[in-house]
Structure 1
């Protein structure tokens, strides 16, 4: 076939133009997918001088077609004459890397990365690197009228920082980051605040401290008292990490006042985020310097009207206990932990029980015997049957951590006594507890103390009590069932 002017050499371009102008998207897509065949027919010189300029000048189409084009061009190195001419592929790929659709841009960038490896060092410097000259665009985006654009810049700031390197970071990104931290929109400030630690970590080591102290810290101080609780919460989730970057002296002088202010913040999420990251500052200055402000913050969170806030502080209690030490815990926090056991929300009581187990694992069985166990067992006489059941739940959790001696001498007698409780729910939980603590007990206690009580409960008038007692006796994996099989 020949082109319109009868010249066979024009055929591939003429056909491609016609097909790319066709209304049928599938036809246009098929044309793009056979670009390599067209390029072979044209030869390397005409591919460089005709095909690529045509593609560069006419990049407008459905996303599916553009995606296929971006992928095809990544495999065009030999079709344009090899590594010596691979830079000819940069203009169309650069255009594709700026289209609106994300998947097209990603594919174009992927192809750019692929062909970058085929550039000589000289060509990389001359042809490819001018594409990393993104600062004018980045500056414009960081100051864009749309807050969503500025938000995306803040959200991706760490990646940008790594991409442009230390010099551009010092000269251009530091001022841009300052502006984002001071942005008029709370969403932008929040996104930037989350990046504070990561941004500071990635600063050039030789100038990191100077940049933080001179340019970043003043912005951080403003965010501590921001009008938006989301901004304050975002900052609180990362600010403690600055301790390890700035060291002890700077932390004590400059960061500690900020931590103390956030521990007193009216927003529970701010206080929780500070408390959850205490390990960072503990590594640098120890936690004692925070203790005077830490305690009121913990107490307020522990008594917060929202049960999810109370739940969150319970989950951090083992971490706090380990950092504050056993003496501080016993003096200041023990009462709180016991109060949670009688909270009106079941999830809080359950978490408090689990918390006690973790504390025993941290402080040891002897501490538990002297500090926790007596208070837990004292709840067995509480008028509220829910509190009496909490005693059983605690015993279930603590028995293994406390060991055989404490369980047998102190916990077991209380469980056995509760088998006579007037509330059926308590009695069937006694059966479940005996099955739970059975593996911790010795055979003598199982035979002389546990067996008679379970046999009595197995004949209880309440069907649930009878069922769980029989389950404890016959339980497939229970130590009790093994004992009964041997004794029978």
Structure 2
């Protein structure tokens, strides 16, 4: 029935668990029969414990189910498996909540065994999945339902639930728990926190790709999901918004226009700032799949309203997403730039090509075929557009009253006091609650603020103290925990006062606050700032406005204004997205981004400068070679003297960067290359920096003339070849081989040179000089690592030079090193001569060298020599007597040394 080893260990395990039964039964009968008897007894014992009147014994039975199932699976007995699952079904209907919870804890183990076992697999869809559905819908214990929802989420993450059960029973049940009036039993009340958890699990199943049936998602999921976006509990709306971008990616442009955009417009005006913040996080994913006209006419003004949002957290996330949102307006036909294989390239004058254009057209047609399912809730566009227009007009009037003070404070940092967001009314959460007890069940995070919805439209909320905000709450994703549930209903948590991380987080205040702050400024300074900003806006608006709405560009430029230079997070986000913004605006608009780029290059945070360093090669392609020489090379010079992290960012794409510069700038950059060898004491340990430098120099050899390479790059290569780290020396050997190849290719004029001639050419000054340096500094060095590096270079030259060139330049020194005292050097000699050269002049010497290495006392050297000679490895007997003798001699030498040193 199964193997002897498994049978023995299994019988011993069962026997040790029941010593009395083992002593009486294990001595007689067949092995399989004994194991069957032992397992049968375990199953009966489990059933007996499940029928017990004591809750503790039934709990123990719930915990023992997984262990008994392992025994049954080992025996592969369907009858016993059926009996065990009957017990499981009985325990799932137990009246004690603790018994059901104990059984749920083992649900993942049971489903995992069912997926791996052919005997247990039929019970997953017939017993376990219906058990989960029954537990979710019929139980009266909140803790059981809560645990069941959590277990379903865990099972979804582990992909243990069968797809059929998932689509037909599990997800529909979770959907039913997400709505207030849907439980099957009228007396069953679903708490709001359980509704939130159910909705979160359903949404996660879609975003994580667990549900693979695209048609089911469109026809069965989307209609119900649309009502979650308008749910009364804001945490449900927040969880639903989080996957809206994934759905747009899944169904394309038509779905985005007809479904996602109306909901986005509605949710951008949501009363709860947490929902608006969630919209900001998926706004770019939605905008990607919108047509350009809709993105420009509707989404751009909508995003500007989020940038001016009354909640600092919403506007903060909006400013983080500003750069990516601007990049969605990229149009290669206007900017002349396009992305290919992750690199910015110039758009071909003849367009993308027929194949690429046809592929894009087919993809768009495929996405437009989708028909929206019936039963979807979609907000009315006309009403939203009208209210949005009125809201934007009111905001513009308010900005005129405040001047530019609001915009400055949005970048200047976090204020000491913050806006007060009161409990909302109307269609909000509080309107659905009838008492403080109902409000405590909504599942709001402890200390979380509510958005302001005043009874009068012109009223402005007063800001609370900074203690009302706590970073762990406002920067974390919402999850339900017992500690959080215990704090429901409280107005505030006395959290510790947080230090100001950035000045950007000080969002727009009311008119009185702004006036109080502005009184600190002199009138002359205000007038100068307003004139400067107006002049900048006129310059921007004077350009072609076809690519990006001007207001978005203005917001992006002000992100790193003088008032917010210390806003570390914002500056880092701006530096990260600046290449995408420059790519979108094109070369003509670089003059508007130049000051921003220069300011970021001088930021006090090295992480900001690292972002610029890593993307500088892309900026060179975007702005063009002439502009790069005047505007970007000075920034390069400053960053080149920066910390190693910044210099490493420049070095990562150094060859690509220099390639985009004009010839005059390339020559000036060539003389700056030795500066990358300068390192402090800590930098000397950063060998990966030197390794990357060698790789970039290898690419730079194609950009410079032979004379330039000989003056600068050759010397750097010889320096890197003496590095302490072997990986750096190996890469340097490839670089030296490449340089030698270029020199020989340049100076080896006589193509008809005979193979019998082994004299070095007298009219090859660069080649002869470089080879002399190699021989003197490496082949004849007293350090074995340098001799080994020379041989590594020769090994690389085998692929670059002809036999005639290699033989006349390097072969003599290579064969001389076959007598080296270090085995590692002799090993590389054998590899460098594999396969042997066929030239008549060098053939005899090479064969004699390999024959000598074939009998080398080092096993690896002799093996490599035999490979070079083509000798079979499995038919030769290796004499290890000499090896034993040398080991004995070494031991005797050590003993004699010890005796001499002993007193």
* TM-score normalised by structure 2 residue count: 0.41
C-alpha RMSD of the superposition: 4.7
Segment drifting more, 245-254 vs 162-171: 162-171
Q: In structure 2, what is the Cα distance between the partners aligned to 1:241 and 1:270?
A: 16
Q: Which residue of 2 aligns with 1:472?
A: 864
Q: In structure 1, what is the Cα distance between the partners aligned to 2:611 and 2:200?
A: 37
Alignment of 1:254-333 (within 5 A): 254-263=631-640, 265-279=641-655, 281-282=657-658, 284-292=660-668, 294-296=670-672, 298-304=673-679, 305-306=684-685, 307-333=687-713
Distance change >3 Å, CA 473–CA 169, structure 1 → 2: same
What displacement does 1:408 show?
2.2
Alignment of 1:102-181 (within 5 A): 105-110=241-246, 129-131=265-267, 133-140=302-309, 144=313, 150=316, 156-162=321-327, 169-172=549-552, 174-176=554-556, 178-179=558-559
Alignment of 1:404-415 (within 5 A): 404-415=803-814
What displacement does 1:124 show?
8.2
1:424-459: CA deviation from partner (whole Å, max 9, x where unpaired): 33xx63354234323261164675112223333445
Q: Which residue of 1 aligns with 2:230?
A: 91
Residue 717 of structure 2 corresponds to residue 337 of structure 1: yes
1:303-359: CA deviation from partner (whole Å, max 9, x where unpaired): 423433322211211122222332211112211211222223333222211222344
Q: In structure 1, what is the Cα distance between the partners aligned to 2:250 and 2:231?
A: 14
What displacement does 1:221 show?
0.7
Q: In structure 2, what is the Cα distance between the partners aligned to 1:337 and 1:279?
A: 16
What displacement does 1:222 show?
1.4
Segment drifting more, 329-338 vs 248-257: 248-257
Q: In structure 2, what is the Cα distance between the partners aligned to 1:113 and 1:95?
A: 24
Alignment equivalent of 2:780, drawn from 370, 381, 384? 381
Q: Which residue of 2 aligns with 1:13?
A: none
Distance change >3 Å, CA 269–CA 292, structure 1 → 2: farther
Q: Which residue of 1 aligns with 2:591?
A: 213
Q: Which residue of 2 aligns with 1:436?
A: 832
Segment drifting more, 433-442 vs 280-289: 280-289
What displacement does 1:395 show?
1.3
Residue 399 of structure 2 corresponds to residue 399 of structure 1: no
1:106-142: CA deviation from partner (whole Å, max 9, x where unpaired): 4355457779978798888877654553443344499
| Structure 1: runs of 5+ lacking an equivalent | 1-15, 40-46, 52-56
What displacement does 1:295 show?
2.4
Q: Is the 8 A contact 1:223 1:232 kept in 2?
A: yes
SS in 1 for 2:782: coil
Q: Which residue of 2 aligns with 1:33?
A: 172
Q: In structure 2, what is the Cα distance between the partners aligned to 1:386 and 1:357?
A: 17
Distance change >3 Å, CA 480–CA 450, structure 1 → 2: farther
Q: Which residue of 2 aligns with 1:451?
A: 847
* TM-score normalised by structure 1 residue count: 0.70
Pairs aligned (count) = 430
| Structure 2: runs of 5+ lacking an equivalent | 1-135, 153-168, 183-189, 207-214, 268-298, 331-545, 748-765, 876-903
SS in 1 for 2:702: helix
Alignment equivalent of 1:237, drawn from 600, 610, 614? 614
What displacement does 1:471 show?
1.6
Q: Is the 8 A contact 1:224 1:235 kept in 2?
A: yes
Q: Is the 8 A contact 1:221 1:258 kept in 2?
A: yes
Distance change >3 Å, CA 369–CA 480, structure 1 → 2: farther
SS in 2 for 1:442: coil
Q: In structure 1, what is the Cα distance between the partners aligned to 2:220 and 2:828?
A: 76
Q: In structure 2, what is the Cα distance between the partners aligned to 1:308 and 1:339?
A: 15
The structure with higher relative contact order (CA 8 Å, sep 6+) is: 2
Q: Where is the helix percentage greater, Structure 1 or Structure 2?
A: 1
Q: In structure 2, what is the Cα distance between the partners aligned to 1:195 and 1:37?
A: 42
What displacement does 1:415 show?
1.8
Q: Which residue of 2 aligns with 1:12?
A: none
What displacement does 1:237 show?
1.4
- Which structure's CA Rg is the greater one? 2
What displacement does 1:198 show?
1.2
What displacement does 1:404 show?
0.7
Q: Is the 8 A contact 2:721 2:789 kept in 1?
A: yes
